[in-house]
Amino acid sequence: MNILILGSGGREHALAHQIAKSPLCTKLFVAPGNGGTNEIAVNVPLAINDFEKIADFALTTDVQLIIVGPEEPLVNGIVNYFKENEALQRIAILGPDKTGAQLEGSKAWAKSFMASEGIPTAAYREFTNKTRNEGIHYLDNCNLPIVLKADGLAAGKGVIITSDRDEAKENFNAMLDGMFGHAGNTIVIEQFLAGIEFSMFVITDGKDYILLPEAKDYKRIGEGDTGPNTGGMGAVSPVPFLDDVLAEKVHTQIIKPTLNGLQKRNIDYRGFIFFGLINVNGDPFVIEYNCRMGDPETEVVIPRIKSDLVPLFLGAANGHLPPELPEVTHETAATIMLVAQGYPGPYKKGNPITGTELVHESLVFHAGTLLNETLQTNGGRVMALTSFGMNIQDAINKSLKAAELVHFEGKNYRKDIGKDLLIFEK
Ligand code: AMP
Ligand code: GLY
């Protein structure tokens, strides 16, 4: 069958890399794709939110399965667009509809969903322009540090954590005044949770779910988790502190109640649920839900899956997960993200990239790259270098070696990915 992946990051390259190997895949398209997907699939210059053009393309090229990488088209209703049109209904599309995507698209919706299902998460209050004064009063009295979250999608920038009340109030007002556009019309203020973060992923057909390998990502730009948040600077899978007891708590207290809650609301959720979790003294809490796979988590999670992804993805999209569980390697996967100088602030594009052909021990997943006769940088996160090892150190060493082999002006990366996890490894 012909398959279309929407997106252009390392996540989409990692998905394409695996799907291109499937005997079930005839032609693979990635829209818009990047310099890496170009080599294993056909890049199609379509904007991810232009549903009409995506639909036209899918019909004319006989695409039978669409995998939606990023959250934006899901939150904007791409699945509804396909389901509501008779000609498009026969195309399987993997991802939740607009209502299901609110798990990520509206923090206030997700918080109230968790509250009503009794799912452990930080205590919270929500405010709008109408309740601005109450919000300020609340900020004067709540515990420190303060966690402020813009309700809607804000390109990963919508969370502000501060121990300075005045700074919290300034940001609260700025959010209500449009700092993140409509995303800040509603603000969630929540209790700060102290613990260690990790992420779990499931794929669901709306009824059952299959657990995918877990991961830990590294969000801050600087070593030792310092500096501003990024989309993610690296990731490791498996997570050594996730033992059977903690995993069982996540299943019974979080994953199952989430799926029950969706079913109760008649939300036919077919796709990925990404549980952003925090381990607080052995108890898991939800920090956030995402309605898609993570990036760079996908670059370690997906390569660990050795079985064909196409029956799994197609089954979920069609409402019938296959009975077999995917085969997962016990080896550790680690990825290091090479980023452009200045990222997550302003950065330059168009710098030549060399040396990827020298990397033999790692998988090279392109993110912000463009192949325009030569390979050049085209984004803040440029590429993810994924390696396997018998343990974290072993995998990371290979990715560090690969990171030295690839060159572009202003290359930056964290050398401490996975270091905090070494104490948990047996
Ligand atoms: P989010 O965009 O919701 O993932 O938030 C970004 C980051 O902020 C998370 O990865 C956490 O590190 C941090 N964070 C969010 N909510 C909380 C919370 N309630 N307590 C502590 N840290 C949080
Ligand atoms: N790496 C975090 C995310 O994909 O949301």
Report the b/e string of 153-172 with b at 16+ CB within 10 A: bbeebbbbebeeeeebbebb
pLDDT at 8: 98
CA–centroid distance, residue 353 to ligand 1 (Å):
33
Report the sign of the C-alpha dihedral through residues 363, 2, 103, 231, in that order: positive
CA–centroid distance, residue 373 to ligand 2 (Å):
31
The answer to whether the CB of 360 falls within 8 A of the CB of 398 is: no
The atom number, within ligand 1, closest to the CA of 195 reads 21
Beta carbon of 277 within 6 Å of any ligand 1 atom: no
Phi then psi for residue 140, to 5 deg, are -70, -25
pLDDT at 89: 95
Banded pLDDT at 136 (limits 50, 70, 90): very high
- For every residue of 33-87, which 3-state class applies, written as one string? CCCCHHHHCEECCCCCCCHHHHHHHHHHCCEEEEEECCHHHHHCCHHHHHHCCHH
pLDDT at 417: 98
- Distances from the Cα of 24 to the Cα of 65, 303, 312, angstroms: 11, 18, 12
Beta carbon of 151 within 6 Å of any ligand 1 atom: no
The residue whose C-alpha atom lies closest to atom 14 belonging to ligand 1 is 287
> What are the residues whose beta carbons fall under 8 Å from the beta carbon of 408, sequence distance 6 or more?
338, 340, 351, 352, 353, 354, 376, 377, 382
> What are the sequence ranges of the domains in the chain?
2-100, 123-191
pLDDT at 218: 97
CA distance 182 to 352: 37
pTM tops 0.75: yes
CB-based burial label for 12 (10 Å; 0-12, 13-18, 19+): buried
- Distances from the Cα of 278 to the Cα of 147, 159, 252, 282, 286, angstroms: 15, 16, 16, 9, 6
**Least confident window among 7-21, 128-142, 196-210, 232-246:** 128-142
Topology (CATH level 3) of domain 123-191: Dna Ligase; domain 1 (3.30.1490)
pLDDT digits (tens, 9 = 90+) for 367-395: 999 998 899 999 999 999 999 999 999 99
pLDDT digits (tens, 9 = 90+) for 8-24: 999 999 999 999 999 99
- Strand 332-339 to strand 381-389: parallel, antiparallel, or no bridges (unpaired)? antiparallel
Architecture of the domain delimited by 2-100: 3-Layer(aba) Sandwich (3.40)
In this structure, the residues whose C-beta lies within 6 A of any atom of ligand 2 are: 217, 231-232, 290, 294-295, 297
Beta carbon of 196 within 6 Å of any ligand 1 atom: no
pLDDT at 134: 93
**Ligand showing the shortest atom-to-Cα distance for residue 148:** 1
CA–centroid distance, residue 377 to ligand 2 (Å):
21
Question: Could you check whether the bond before residue 145 is cis, i.e. omega within 30 degrees of 0?
Answer: yes
- Across the chain, what does the average pLDDT equal? 96
pLDDT at 163: 93
Distance of CA 162 to the CA centre of its chain: 24
pLDDT digits (tens, 9 = 90+) for 158-184: 899 999 999 999 999 999 999 998 999
What mean pLDDT do residues 302-309 have? 98
Give the chain's end-to-end CA distance (angstroms, integer).
44
